[in-house]
Chains A and B, each alone.
Chain A
Amino acid sequence: MWRRHPLLLIALLLGFGFLYLPIISLVVYSFNESRLVTVWGGFSTHWYGELLNNRPLLNAAWLSIKIAALNATLAVVLGTLAAIALVRFGKQRGHKSLGVMVTAPLVIPEIVIGLSLLLLFVTLEDLIGWPAGRGQLTILLAHVTFSMAYVTVIVQSRLKHMDRSLEDAALDLGARPLTVFFTITLPLITPALIAGWLLAFTLSMDDLVVASFVSGPGATTLPMVIYSSVRLGVNPQINALATIMIAIVSIAVLLLGIVTYRREIKKQQARP
């Protein structure tokens, strides 16, 4: 097909160049000796050493990782429930409103979500004394709210394209719905759950705007530290940090991709 459309190939190459050149430049210049980030002064791992001695940044990173892991777990549970409700229980009351409420956080500007959640937390604290103050808990609640929407989308598409004959057979043979779910449905949608978990983790690790609104004194997340540093201009330590994060994410996503790809190939081979 491509040989007939050389223009498409060029568009793809340019597009991928546009997507990847900035990331590559981040990585390359993290090994730059010079403080001036974009002026090459020789190879060095100097900034990685500095990064490891940056206590406030490391503390923030640890806090972010904790919140992100909890967030991902909660978001996968809630998102999976929502996806099942949306795909399977179309006649149930609340189906339509759930569909709208799940899609909306995907597009509604973060700044609106952040402000509105802050106002909710302030009012609730005033009325019922919970949540007491703002910090890790309020960040977690806010993150779960928008990450579960992404998990729902991923699990939903997996459920839609899933072969239901096994489930039907088990139900016909008298298995309880819950048993069918845990022994058949869950294993089949596991790749989607892992992808959803990873995505929810990244979204939380990455969020500056919502966390800035709902956080309190004492809860400074990694993006907040990055943002206050980046506002002052380019900083090679941030490049080093970016490289480490990119490396971790790429490895995780590539592993997941390879597993999915192999499964896909096996499926194609099984179906002649």
Chain B
Amino acid sequence: MIKSTVVSAISAITHNSVINPAARRNGLQRFVMAVPWLWLALFFLLPFLFVVKISLSEAQLAQPPYLDWIQQVEDGLVTIQLNFGNYLLLLEDDLYLEAFLGSFEISLIATLLCILIGYPMAYGIAQAPRHWQLPLLMLIILPFWTSFLLRVYAWIGILKNQGLLNQWLLSLGLIDQPLVILHTNIAVYIGLVYSYLPFFVLPLYATLVRLDHSLLEAAADLGARPWKQFLTITLPQSTPGMIAGSMLVFIPAMGEFVIPDLLGGPDTLMIGKLMWTEFFSNKDWPLASALAAVLLLVLILPFVLMRHYEQKAARQQEGH
């Protein structure tokens, strides 16, 4: 019995590999798909379930500092005690709502500033002579390769009261007293735009460089002015890339911790900073988890938007 199964198994294997290479290729394909899939399922997807689970538990002074809501009482009796208190607290205490609104407002303004500064840059690179484009793109990417933390740190030296910017403005006689920029929201905007600008420029450039030029030529032949050509043809065609790029700025900015912590002040209320405090200072893991769960929920819509427009931009490029 065992022998026959072994034989049939072997024959199945040899059958597959010799007579049916397609089946073997399928096995290989499944393996290639399965390895990264399982890794991400274990280390990316599964952890979110734990975030939700622990957000529903009660904080306690122990290690780990939360009370599991599935408690094994004697005789194998299992009791489940869900605690929605953390979510209720988020609703009741204005601090949390304000932090979400603060994050939203700051991320929105930073995204708009990225569009204002990044669109002309992406357009400029796309319009540059062909042999200039790759070096210019390299220049956009290069800062991204150097330490994010150190680049944010650089702004402390520039923006502080005796910093480079104030020294310069004072010596030019443009101001009499140093401007207070560091530890205000303005410094946070500068830090966010500075750090996330490459994320906006790159996808937008990719869209702009593959635009359909025949439409522009037709418009020019019919006498449309360059500005009108831009507004009626280039801008609408580049919208998918622009929205995808904006989301690449907006989503991470919503949860940003380092920039509001180092450049922002006590008035800078952002959700990432608050989560950090709840977790590291107050040791309230369940509350921090509840904040993370709500933040994820809030970010689903922008994420779906991003995926949608990324794919649209990709289709546009392939269709051309």
Residues of A within 8 A of B (CB): 1-2, 4-5, 7-9, 11-12, 15-16, 18-23, 25-26, 29, 36-39, 78-79, 81-82, 84-85, 88-89, 92-95, 97-98, 100-113, 115-117, 119-120, 122-123, 126, 141-142, 144-145, 148, 152, 176-178, 198-199, 202, 205-206, 208-209, 212-213, 223, 226-227, 230-231, 233-234, 238-239, 241-242, 245-246, 249-250, 253, 257, 260-261, 264
Chain A residues contacting B5 (CB-CB under 8 Å) are: none
Q: Are B303 and A107 neighbours in the complex by a CB distance under 8 Å?
A: yes
Let me know if B153 is at the binding interface, CB within 8 A. Answer: yes
Shortest CB–CB separation between residue A262 and chain B, in angstroms?
A: 11
Q: Which residue of B lies closest to A40 (CB)?
A: B167
Q: Which one of B35, B150, B151, B257 contacts A111 once the chains associate, using CB atoms below 8 Å?
A: B257
Chain A residues contacting B129 (CB-CB under 8 Å) are: 1-2
Question: What are 29 sample pairs from A and B whose C-beta atoms fall under 8 A apart?
Answer: A19-B194, A25-B164, A84-B32, A88-B29, A98-B37, A101-B37, A108-B296, A109-B251, A109-B254, A110-B252, A111-B255, A112-B51, A115-B279, A115-B288, A117-B47, A119-B289, A120-B46, A123-B50, A145-B39, A145-B40, A176-B21, A206-B149, A209-B258, A226-B147, A230-B262, A231-B262, A233-B156, A241-B150, A253-B145
Let me know if B25 is at the binding interface, CB within 8 A. Answer: yes
Shortest CB–CB separation between residue A267 and chain B, in angstroms?
A: 12
Shortest CB–CB separation between residue A71 and chain B, in angstroms?
A: 13
Known: A38-B163, A234-B153, A234-B156. 11 other contacts (CB 8 A): A1-B128, A11-B124, A15-B121, A21-B158, A39-B162, A94-B37, A102-B36, A109-B251, A112-B296, A116-B47, A141-B43
Chain B residues contacting A18 (CB-CB under 8 Å) are: 117, 194, 197
Chain A residues contacting B226 (CB-CB under 8 Å) are: 4
Q: Are A8 and B257 neighbours in the complex by a CB distance under 8 Å?
A: no
Q: Are B150 and A104 neighbours in the complex by a CB distance under 8 Å?
A: no
Q: Which one of A5, A29, A112, A152 contacts B127 once the chains associate, using CB atoms below 8 Å?
A: A5
Q: Are B158 and A25 neighbours in the complex by a CB distance under 8 Å?
A: yes
Q: Mark B142-173, 1 if CB is under 8 A from A, else 0.
A: 11011111110111111010111001000000
**Contact A22:B272 (CB < 8 A) given known A9-B124, A85-B33, A145-B40:** no
Let me know if B204 is at the binding interface, CB within 8 A. Answer: no
Let me know if B276 is at the binding interface, CB within 8 A. Answer: yes
Q: Which residue of A lies closest to B198 (CB)?
A: A19
Q: Are B47 and A98 neighbours in the complex by a CB distance under 8 Å?
A: no
Q: Are B121 and A12 neighbours in the complex by a CB distance under 8 Å?
A: yes
Cα A238 to Cα B37 with chains together (Å): 39
Q: Are B150 and A245 neighbours in the complex by a CB distance under 8 Å?
A: yes
Chain A residues contacting B162 (CB-CB under 8 Å) are: 36, 38-39
Q: Mark B92-133, 1 if CB is under 8 A from A, else 0.
A: 000000000000000000000000011011011101110000
Q: Which residue of B lies closest to A208 (CB)?
A: B149
Q: Which residue of B lies closest to A246 (CB)?
A: B146
Let me know if B136 is at the binding interface, CB within 8 A. Answer: yes
Cα A117 to Cα B45 with chains together (Å): 10
- Count how many chain B residues have C-beta atoms less than 8 Å from C-beta atoms of the other chain: 91
Cα A226 to Cα B32 with chains together (Å): 39
Q: Which residue of B lies closest to A261 (CB)?
A: B134
Shortest CB–CB separation between residue A23 and chain B, in angstroms?
A: 6
Shortest CB–CB separation between residue A104 and chain B, in angstroms?
A: 7
Let me know if B138 is at the binding interface, CB within 8 A. Answer: yes
Shortest CB–CB separation between residue A124 and chain B, in angstroms?
A: 9
Let me know if B192 is at the binding interface, CB within 8 A. Answer: no
Chain A residues contacting B163 (CB-CB under 8 Å) are: 38
Q: Are A12 and B124 neighbours in the complex by a CB distance under 8 Å?
A: yes
Closest 4 CB pairs of A and B: A109-B255, A11-B120, A116-B47, A82-B36
Shortest CB–CB separation between residue B3 and chain A, in angstroms?
A: 31
Chain A residues contacting B276 (CB-CB under 8 Å) are: 111
Q: Are B146 and A245 neighbours in the complex by a CB distance under 8 Å?
A: yes
